[in-house]
Amino acid sequence: MEIYKKYSKAMYNTALRIVKDTTEAEDLMQEAFIDAFRKIRQFQFKSAFGAWLKRIVVNKSLDAVRQHIQFEDIDEIPEPADYNEEKAHQEQVVYHLEEVKKAIYQLEHKDRVIISLYLFEGYDHEEIGQILEISHNAARTRYSRARKNLVNLVKENRTMKTFLS
């Protein structure tokens, strides 16, 4: 029970960011704990228990999302003609947390999954590629596009908010 109390909220939030449904996130979190307790002997202490448990939650959540979408492995996905990666990284824009949260939930499944794994769960592009069974280049490109879509949504929501005020 102590382990559950310690990790349940974080694991629920991890699942929720990926599946975007509170009931499904609760179910996935519960299933992940059941799996973890059943497989506790497989835990090899190579990482923290929380990291191992998070990996189980992420995998369960992605399995649920995969029922709705399919990630393609395209090694070289061309960037839009007007995209400049250096300029995108140099752009310093401050957004309020609530604006970003709202925009993340407006993203398509593919974009939300990539953003969640990279920004919130701390996986790098190589790890995301392995998790989604795509190349790390495809993961990097998809993240770049998802980030651009997220920024655009935040800007659109700001514009709409200003317009309605």
Give a yes or no: residue 35 inside a domain. Answer: yes
Per the prediction, the chain carries an average pLDDT of 80
What is the domain extent for residue 93?
Answer: 85-164
Determine if the pTM surpasses 0.75. Answer: no
Report the number of distinct structural domains present in the chain.
Answer: 2
Task: Indicate which CATH number applies to the domain containing 8.
Answer: 1.10.1740.10
CATH number of the CATH domain containing 103 = 1.10.10.10
Residues 108, 61 within the same domain: no
- Alpha-carbon gap, residue 24 to 136, rounded angstroms: 28
pLDDT value for 29 = 93
Q: Is the pLDDT of residue 121 over 90?
A: no
Same domain, 138 and 105: yes
Regarding whether 51 and 13 lie in a shared domain, the answer is yes
The average pLDDT across 117-127 equals: 87
Predicted confidence (pLDDT) at residue 77 exceeds the cutoff of 70: no
- In this prediction, residue 92 has a pLDDT band, given cuts at 50, 70 and 90, of very low
- Percent of the chain exceeding pLDDT 70 equals 80
